Amino acid sequence: MKSDTIATDMASLSSESYKGARDWYPADMRVREYIFAKWRSVARSFGYQAYDAPLLEPLEVYAAKSGQELVNEQTYQFTDRGDRRVAIRPEMTPSVSRMIAARRQETPLPARWYSIAQFMRYERPQRGREREFWQLNVDIFGAEGAPAEAEIIEMGATIMKSFGARSDMYVIRINNRKVINYMMAQYLELEPTQAQMMIKLFDRKNKIAPEAFRDQAIDIFGADKSKQGLQKIAQLLAAKSMADLPEALRDSEAVREVQELFTYLERAGIKNATFDITLMRGLDYYTGTVFEFFDTHPENNRSLFGGGRYDGLVGMFGAEPLTAVGTAPGLTMMQLFLEAHGLLPEIMPYTQVCMIILGSATLGAAKLAQDLRAGGVAVEVDFTDRKIDKKLKAAIKKQIPYILFVGEDDLKAGVYPLKNVQTAEEQRLSAERIISYLSDRRRS
């Protein structure tokens, strides 16, 4: 009996990808690499250094602070062959905090790190949300106060600008977990357990019906306190700015921290930031400022990405506590934003030339291709025995912009017919001229 053998009917294999994940065909990869390149360029321009972490982490890394919903309902977890409970990373923040803690003493501060990494969460696939996803993660460690938070938010705005986005295409919503905690304990007068339930309810406010929000709030307050509690919530929801907040909240130290942050953002030229008392950010590890970039397009009216301050994570790994702020734009939402606003350009293949060999010129053509590649030209050589018309159709379908015909007479003469597929213009050029000509075209 072969108990470890999995019998597979090869005829029954599906060509579909795993639910909630996607296959990345060449055209999709060009878009992905375009977005990644913008992310990487902006992160580096702010002085951030690249890092990476394992795809698997011990489950307790997430159980400690990420929240029970993430761990119990969304994490891909299993017991490995060494009887260890591990999870495929659903986010990067605990991993980067662990890495900083491991080298706390030798890491120069403030530490500015970034990564572009792959994650998995078991949740219901829907528009803008997949089980397998990619994110840019940018974090600054060892920098306190509003300047660090403003830098992370400014980086987000710079990323949007790098794609051609105007400030009216999105809004930056800002709150502070200290404001939230004060609001729950002092203003709404909730016990800790009730406060956590109310925070989760506020976090879901825009995803449920108003009646459901009201009914759940009544359950949290209890029958005796629900009338007064609902009145206070109504006052909070009516506030369109910090000046509109109830006096008990408006005069708190936590609100003054938010006001200081807005001062820094205004100095950075960011005019589309707004205070939102309902913004919670569901992850449990946030300790101060929280924010979200929100798309204003009616067909994509939803959060693009967010982040905030999480000062407690590094200390959980046995190191001296360290302040931290970060954000994590996601690939799918970024692509949807670009498509909704018409900002995604047509991204052509990197290949510049398809070389079509005529007759028995294969060896000479191979040497010519080497010379062109050495000069920086990306060349695909079609050495198949197909008819020329089929080779041409294939090159056009691949969106290769130039076709180079190489026959024995061309090799002897040292000049070759180079055809522009789009214009049908053809010119005979030497290898050196082909290199300089295509180099100029790529730069333009």
Sequential DSSP letters for 124-153: --BTTB-SEEEEEEEEEES--HHHHHHHHH
pLDDT at residue 405, as a whole number: 96
The answer to whether the beta carbons of residues 118 and 70 sit under 8 Å apart is no
Among the listed residues 112, 125, 131, 179, the one whose alpha carbon sits nearest the alpha carbon of residue 325: 112
Among the listed residues 196, 393, 156, the one whose alpha carbon sits nearest the alpha carbon of residue 294: 156
In sequence order, what are the residues at sequence separation of 6 or more whose Cβ sits closer than 8 angstroms to the Cβ of residue 110?
A: 140, 141, 142, 143, 148
pLDDT at residue 1, as a whole number: 45
Neighbour tally for 320: CB within 10 Å: 9
pLDDT at residue 3, as a whole number: 47
Helices (H), 103-225: 145-162, 177-182, 192-203, 210-221
pLDDT under 70 in the chain at which residues?
1-11, 64-67, 282-283, 444
Q: What domains does the chain contain, in order, with CATH numbers?
A: 18-340 (3.30.930.10), 353-443 (3.40.50.800)
**71 DSSP assignment:** I
> Distance between CA atoms of 355 and 153, rounded to whole angstroms?
47
What backbone torsions phi and psi does residue 128 show, to the nearest 5 degrees?
85, -5
H/E segment holding residue 11: none
> Distance between CA atoms of 416 and 357, rounded to whole angstroms?
11
> Distance between CA atoms of 127 and 336, rounded to whole angstroms?
9
> Distance between CA atoms of 108 and 264, rounded to whole angstroms?
25
Burial class for 171, CB neighbours closer than 10 Å (0-12, 13-18, 19+): middle
The answer to whether the beta carbons of residues 144 and 160 sit under 8 Å apart is no
